């Protein structure tokens, strides 16, 4: 039986670098491709601020690519060799509706299971800071020495109850990159409307509601949280694409509407940024764990 978990995720979790180091989280990078030849590793040799600068100068939208099964296999094997006996590798990834990352990780895990490696691959059915909030809490629990069974219980709760709400300046990036999901019905009818988007239980993008203007959309996010969570204590995470003041405003609004017990703030990285574009902002919320 596993005596400890080792947490792995991918770069689309948009975790702050200091938190990755502090909690000993292994992050497998996805790739961003500009044009025919320029390939970058998300948050390795292309940081968020550099990405958005390149995006403004690019003639065409970048594309993205998930890690290969071989890349995951290399990471898993190395961690297995470095970990104490009985350690279970727990690999948490963005929605399989949005990327093939989960599938690649699962292929690698299946291959290595024949060698006796204990690897649990999880499709979080979430993206960006919504994955990050799940990964962060599990890593904190592991670091605190919480039992695997308790970690498993909390993981299931987080997978069921973590929500993410986000707004974008334009649906163009989601559309052209094929990640628009059920929000496709909004194309051509928005004018000054700003959709508040979310993810279905299966991890597909859908329009939660339409609001006139970005300012009202930002205000509406706080109201949605109050309607959803009431006085229940919640953990939050906010990620954004170069809209620092708006991120602070959304956080302040959230605190006015619900009892926020923790906050994680980060920039939306190159891979997620390639799909949502500059100006995007997301807030993820999960019920706080019972102490």
Q: What is the pLDDT of residues 138-195, one digit of tens each?
A: 999 999 999 999 999 999 999 999 999 988 876 665 556 444 444 444 444 454 567 8
Per-residue pLDDT of the chain (291 residues; tens, 9 = 90+): 457 999 999 999 999 999 999 999 999 999 999 987 789 999 999 999 999 999 888 888 889 999 999 999 999 999 999 999 889 999 999 999 999 999 999 999 999 998 989 999 999 999 999 999 999 999 999 999 999 999 999 999 999 999 999 888 766 655 564 444 444 444 444 545 678 889 989 998 888 888 888 888 888 988 999 999 988 899 999 999 999 999 999 999 899 989 999 999 999 999 999 888 889 999 999 999 875
Same domain, 202 and 107: no
**Residue ranges making up the domain that contains 46:** 4-160
* Euclidean distance between CA atoms 109 and 275, whole angstroms: 27
Same domain, 144 and 176: no
Q: What is the DSSP string of the chain?
A: ---EEEEEEEGGG---HHHHHHTT-EEE--EEEETTTEEEEBTTTB-HHHHHHHHHH-SS--EEEPPPHHHHHHHHHHHHHHSPTTEEEEEEES-TTT-SHHHHHHHHHHHHHTTT--EEEEE-S--THHHHHHHHHHHHHHHTT--HHHHHHHHHHHHHH-EEEEE-S-SHHHHHTT--GGGGGGTT--TTEEEEEEE-TTS-EEEEEEEESHHHHHHHHHHHHHHHHTT--EEEEEEESS-HHHHHHHHHHHHHHS-EEEEEEEE--HHHHHHH-TT-EEEEEEEPPP-
In sequence order, what are the residues at sequence separation of 6 or more whose Cβ sits closer than 8 angstroms to the Cβ of residue 188?
A: none
Same domain, 89 and 227: no
Same domain, 172 and 280: yes
Same domain, 55 and 193: no
Same domain, 221 and 187: yes
Give the domain-ending residue among 134, 160, 186: 160
Same domain, 193 and 125: no
- What is the CATH number for 131? 3.40.50.10170
Same domain, 147 and 60: yes
- What is the CATH number for 267? 3.30.1180.10
Please give the pLDDT value at position 2.
56
pTM of the model: 0.91
* Euclidean distance between CA atoms 84 and 236, whole angstroms: 32
* Euclidean distance between CA atoms 286 and 291, whole angstroms: 15
Same domain, 178 and 231: yes
Q: How many domains does the chain have?
A: 2
Please give the pLDDT value at position 187.
47
Same domain, 145 and 171: no
Give the domain-ending residue among 141, 160, 179: 160
Same domain, 124 and 13: yes
Nearest in space to 42 (alpha carbons), one of 265, 243, 274: 274
Same domain, 199 and 79: no
């Amino acid at each position: 039986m596993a005596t400890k978990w080792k947490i792995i995720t991918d770069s689309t979790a948009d975790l702050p670098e200091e938190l990755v180091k502090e909690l000993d989280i292994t992050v497998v990078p996805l790739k961003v491709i500009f044009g025919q030849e320029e390939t970058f590793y998300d948050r390795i040799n292309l940081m968020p601020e550099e990405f958005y600068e390149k995006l403004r100068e690019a003639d065409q939208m970048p594309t993205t690519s998930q890690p290969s099964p071989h890349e995951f296999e290399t990471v898993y094997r190395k961690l297995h060799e470095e970990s104490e006996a009985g350690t279970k590798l727990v690999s948490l990834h963005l929605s399989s509706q949005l990327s093939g990352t989960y599938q690649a990780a699962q292929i690698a895990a299946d291959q290595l299971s024949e060698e006796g490696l204990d690897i649990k691959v999880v499709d979080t059915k979430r993206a960006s800071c919504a994955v990050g909030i799940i990964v962060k809490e599990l890593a904190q629990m592991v670091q605190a020495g919480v039992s695997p069974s308790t970690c498993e219980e909390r993981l299931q709760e987080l997978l069921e109850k973590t929500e993410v709400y986000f707004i974008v300046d334009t649906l163009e990036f989601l559309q052209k990159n094929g990640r628009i999901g059920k929000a496709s019905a909004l194309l051509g009818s928005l004018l000054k409307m700003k959709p508040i988007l979310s993810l279905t239980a299966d991890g597909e993008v859908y329009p939660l509601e339409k609001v006139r203007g970005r300012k009202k959309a930002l205000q509406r996010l706080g109201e949605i949280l109050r309607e959803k969570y009431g006085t229940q204590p919640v953990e939050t995470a906010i990620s954004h694409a170069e809209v620092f003041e708006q991120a602070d405003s959304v956080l302040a609004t959230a605190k006015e509407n619900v009892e926020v017990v923790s906050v994680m703030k980060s920039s939306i990285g190159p891979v997620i940024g390639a799909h949502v574009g500059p100006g995007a902002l997301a807030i993820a919320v999960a019920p706080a764990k019972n102490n």
